Structure 1
Amino acid sequence: MDMGLRGKKALVLASSRGLGKAVASQLALEGADVMLASRSEDKLAAVKEELLALGGGGRVEYVATDVTRKEDIAALIQTTAEQFGQIDILVNNSGGPPSGSFESLTDEDWERAFELNMLSYVRLIRGVLPHMKTNGGHIVNIASTSVKQPIPGLILSNTFRTGVFGLAKTLSQELAPYGILINTVAPGRIATDRIRELDTARAEQNGVSEDEIAEQFRKEIPLARYGEPEEFAKAVVFLLSGANTYITGASLVVDGGMVRAL
């Protein structure tokens, strides 16, 4: 299948590692021009070289960006448009908020999570719209399985990731007249640094090893294993590609069947 991505201009957030890097890699393999963004310039430079070595033929650039700063987002979008001439694809992504119970979290924790996991998505979508309204575009917001089933101990994620899905569902109607498709993809237990960090925290709380925690989760996953970042990325890239012409406002759970909710 021709994914129709060669020459498309993509902006991928939090792309120096984990799920964002995996999505950026798949886009680069398909021949898209990819703008990387995260806070670490050193990591971005290394990922740029990795993506160019894949041989997809597209350009790879990067801008060090803190998505909690609106001026950084504005500069990122301006640079992407100047470098690539247009923006066809936006992949909203951000690091997960800290774990904790309702009573353990402060106002500052809530404000930080809102800026990182909700407001940054709003600002980035608002910023790319002028570049997509003429020729259409594809937006994917990376969230969490908490959009379908709350995760114990992750009240910040449960709150703001669900808000991201509500935002995308609403925008799917507002943006449809411009040919802009927007979807939410919810990763489950994908083998990234973020999941390892959560497993470590849970292991410490329960006085057991990380391996025991991972084994408990594997028993809850019908496919009996954690997913690989590349598997997640391929699902995202389909939604971003020319092969997707009629899916918008959807939430796609990529979790090996772990979530039981309909």
Structure 2
Amino acid sequence: MNASLTAPAARPLPLAGQTAIVTGASRGIGRAIALRLAQDGAAVVATARNADLLRTLATEITAAGGRVATVAMDLREAAEPARLVAAAIEAFGGIDVVVNNAGATKRGDFLALPDADWIDGFALKLFGAVRLTRAAWPHLKARRGSLLNISGVGGRTPGPEFTIGGSVNAAMLAFTKAMADVGVRDGVQVNAINPGYIRTDRLQIRLEKLAREQGVDLVEAARRIVAADTIVRIGEPEDVAQLVAFIVAPASRFLHGAIVDLDGGQTKTL
């Protein structure tokens, strides 16, 4: 048969038969991760607080032939991570991948940030991740799965407007390193990603504020951030999703205990 007439090879699905939990999956980075893991063959259990946005995500995944279950919940509530794990087991029978992505922290002058903002910042991003990891760990261990924490460059290089976020992200990185040793013992891969400037709703708000303050348009505001931080460009949620898909794929299991800065060169320290 003429080679030009043969059908193209099917796209490989490295996560076929696996189940992945993705938190903070309704928008931005989490949404992109959920879509990408579904494209790679995983059954995705997507969670966030906004049920409507989760339904939209589920519709997109199923329309593309993927498998998905959505669970609307607030992971700041102590009992919810265990309920999420139970829902994943009920829907798909096991857990192979957990991506702890949920969590946003308030920016601002340190002296203007009350205890409530600090408590809320740690409640979702750190304690939500800790509780979900604890609840999912026996299932990850049973399947020799993968735990991936989405932290942020502020954990390495905090700034005066990011005292809460820098502290939470640093705690997430320490948690990752500690769990990596547990993962060696139990056969679970553990890593973290530190995104830099990623084009999300939160970054859009910052760009709009900068544009107003400096009297420029959004394109120029983004260009000034890129120039000021000497980075190659603003990242896209799909950039993070692509790296997530690479890390949790079976072929990448030698990557363990790693903290990967995905920031276009923003982090300058060794």
TM-score, structure 2 length as denominator? 0.90
Is 1:248 aligned with 2:256?
Answer: yes
Whether contact under 8 Å (1:2, 1:243) holds in the other structure is no
Counterpart residue identity of residue 63, structure 2: A
Is 1:229 aligned with 2:237?
Answer: yes
Could you say which structure has the larger radius of gyration? 2
Range with bigger deviation, 17-26 or 58-67 = 58-67
Aligned counterpart, 1:11: 21
- Identity across aligned pairs (percent)? 33
Q: State how far apart, in whole Å, the 1-side matches of 2:113 and 2:143 are.
A: 43
Whether contact under 8 Å (2:146, 2:248) holds in the other structure is yes
Return 5+ residue gaps in structure 1 as ranges. Answer: none
Give the direction of change, closer, same or farther, for the CA distance of 1:213–1:110 in structure 2 (3 Å limit).
same
- Say which of 59, 63, 87 aligns to 1:79: 87
Is 1:239 aligned with 2:251?
Answer: no
Range with bigger deviation, 149-158 or 14-23 = 149-158
Q: State how far apart, in whole Å, the 2-side matches of 1:6 and 1:259 are.
A: 35
- Say which of 157, 160, 164 aligns to 1:156: 164
The 5 A counterparts of 1:1-262 are 4-55=14-65, 58-203=66-211, 206=213, 208-209=215-216, 211=218, 212-220=220-228, 224-262=232-270
Q: State how far apart, in whole Å, the 2-side matches of 1:217 and 1:91 are.
A: 28
User: 1:66-99: CA deviations, max 9, x gaps?
Assistant: 0101222221111111111000000001232110
Q: State how far apart, in whole Å, the 2-side matches of 1:107 and 1:183 are.
A: 30
How far 1:186 moved relative to its partner? 0.8
Q: State how far apart, in whole Å, the 2-side matches of 1:254 and 1:220 are.
A: 17
Aligned counterpart, 2:6: none
Return 5+ residue gaps in structure 2 as ranges. Answer: 1-10
Question: Per the alignment, in what secondary structure is the counterpart of residue 95 of structure 1?
Answer: coil
User: 1:185-228: CA deviations, max 9, x gaps?
Assistant: 01111111121123334555x45446243221121455542112
Q: State how far apart, in whole Å, the 2-side matches of 1:229 and 1:23 are.
A: 8
Give the direction of change, closer, same or farther, for the CA distance of 1:50–1:127 in structure 2 (3 Å limit).
same
Question: Per the alignment, in what secondary structure is the counterpart of residue 17 of structure 2?
Answer: coil
Whether contact under 8 Å (1:91, 1:142) holds in the other structure is yes
Question: Per the alignment, in what secondary structure is the counterpart of residue 38 of structure 2?
Answer: helix
User: 1:104-131: CA deviations, max 9, x gaps?
Assistant: 1101111111101211110010010111
Counterpart residue identity of residue 166, structure 1: A
How far 1:240 moved relative to its partner? 1.1
Whether contact under 8 Å (1:44, 1:62) holds in the other structure is yes
Whether contact under 8 Å (1:222, 1:258) holds in the other structure is yes
Misfit runs of 4+, over 3 Å: 200-204, 206-210, 220-224
State the aligned residue count: 259
Whether contact under 8 Å (1:102, 1:155) holds in the other structure is yes
